[in-house]
């Protein structure tokens, strides 16, 4: 007859060394998983950096091609190149500033101002962008805005003789001419009003001369109304004009004449 003894739990058969080895392998697997995640993130970041580098490189090539075209006065082709470059690097302020210069050469002032404003927004510390904006504003006749843009450009780069001697000096001269023209126009308008007022005489309708003239006209009208004139046509066709006065009426024989009305 078989005897049954006490059995140990199955877990006690696992040795301590085996348990430690299992834990070490699990830790290695976890480290490998973490390394795979880190490597994927680094790879994605690196691909993005490479893509950005390619965009910058291609944008620079297009920018240089556009600059060469602009130097040869092929402005429309230059704009196409720079628009393609802006698709790759939309935050490049230099592209907008160059584009504004070309648009001014094409006498397209509104787009030139817009492009220069975009350049200033992307790089407010660019003195040449502010200078280009001032020139575009001057082309639109916005003299006060142009002077402000030139002043900002000088504030950024005070030693720029071109902005000081040419751009700002010319803008202030135009502003003085504009003020002088406005003043002359105001004076001409005032002189015109004075001439209109002088051309209308100020009559005194109660003066003796005016009263005498009115009395003479009244007497003439009275004399004309006192005498009445009639045209008489006889049966034979004879026409006779008869003046009839109030004190001596002269009525013809109605059997011989027919009164013409």
**Which residues, listed in sequence order, are joined to residue 229 by a DSSP beta bridge?**
243
pLDDT digit string, tens, across residues 100-142:
999 999 999 999 999 999 999 999 999 999 999 999 999 999 9
State the pLDDT at residue 239. 57
Confirm whether 215 is domain-assigned. yes
Tell me, yes or no, whether 154 and 96 share the same domain: yes
Residue that the structure tokens 């003299």 belong to: 143
Question: Of 90, 87, 88, 119, nearest to 102 (Cα)?
Answer: 119
Task: Give the separation between CA 228 and CA 242, rounded to whole angstroms.
Answer: 8
SS3 255: coil
Q: Identify the CATH number of the domain in which residue 114 sits.
A: 1.25.40.10
The verdict on residue 141 lying in a domain is yes
Output the average pLDDT for the chain. 76
pLDDT tens string 4-36:
333 344 444 445 555 566 566 665 555 555 555
Residue 260: alpha-carbon gap to chain centroid: 77
Please report whether residue 35 resides in a domain. no
Q: Give the span between the Cα atoms of 64 and 81, in whole angstroms.
A: 9
Whether 62 and 180 share a structural domain: yes
Residue 194 lies in a domain: no
Quick one: 72 and 103 in the same domain? Answer: yes
Q: Where a domain ends, among 148, 166, 188?
A: 188
Which of 145, 164, 188 is the endpoint of a domain? 188
pTM of the model: 0.56
Question: Same domain for 111 and 210?
Answer: no
Domain housing 157: 43-188
- Confidence at residue 191, expressed as pLDDT on a 0 to 100 scale: 73
Is there a domain that residue 178 lies in?
yes
Same domain, 56 and 126: yes
Q: Please indicate, yes or no, whether residues 117 and 240 belong to a single structural domain of this protein.
A: no
Residue 73 lies in a domain: yes
**Looking at the domain assignment, is residue 163 inside a domain?**
yes
Residue 62 in any domain: the answer is yes
Does 154 lie in the same domain as 107? yes
Chosen domain end from 188, 215, 233: 188
Q: Do 117 and 88 share a structural domain?
A: yes
Q: What is the mean pLDDT of residues 176-198?
A: 75
* Cα-based angle 104, 107, 111 (whole degrees, multiple of 5): 65
CB atoms within 10 A of CB 163: 25
Q: Both 84 and 146 in a single domain?
A: yes
Structure tokens at 170: 């010319």
């Amino acid at each position: 007859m078989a005897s049954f003894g006490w059995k140990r739990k199955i877990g006690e058969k696992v040795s301590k060394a085996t348990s430690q080895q299992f834990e070490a392998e699990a830790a290695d697997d976890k480290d490998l998983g973490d390394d795979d995640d880190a490597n994927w993130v680094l790879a994605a970041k690196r691909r993005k950096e490479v893509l950005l580098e390619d965009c910058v490189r291609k944008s620079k090539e297009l920018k240089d091609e556009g600059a060469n075209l602009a130097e040869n006065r092929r402005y429309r082709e230059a704009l196409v190149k720079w628009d393609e470059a802006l698709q790759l690097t939309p935050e490049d302020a230099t592209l907008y500033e160059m584009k504004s210069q070309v648009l001014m050469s094409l006498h397209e002032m509104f787009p030139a101002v817009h492009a220069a404003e975009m350049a200033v927004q992307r790089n407010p510390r660019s003195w040449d962008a502010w200078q280009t904006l001032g020139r575009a504003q001057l082309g639109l006749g916005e003299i006060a805005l142009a002077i402000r843009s030139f002043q900002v450009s000088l504030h950024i780069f005070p030693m720029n003789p071109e902005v000081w001697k040419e751009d700002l000096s010319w803008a202030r001269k135009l502003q003085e001419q504009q003020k002088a023209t406005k003043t002359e126009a105001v004076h001409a308008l005032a002189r015109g009003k004075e001439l209109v007022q002088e051309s209308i005489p100020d009559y005194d309708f109660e003066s003796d001369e005016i009263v005498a003239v009115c009395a003479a006209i009244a007497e003439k009208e009275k004399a004309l109304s006192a005498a009445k004139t009639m045209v008489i046509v006889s049966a034979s066709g004879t026409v006779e004009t008869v003046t009839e006065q109030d004190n001596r009426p002269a009525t013809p024989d109605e059997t011989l004449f027919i009164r013409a009305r």
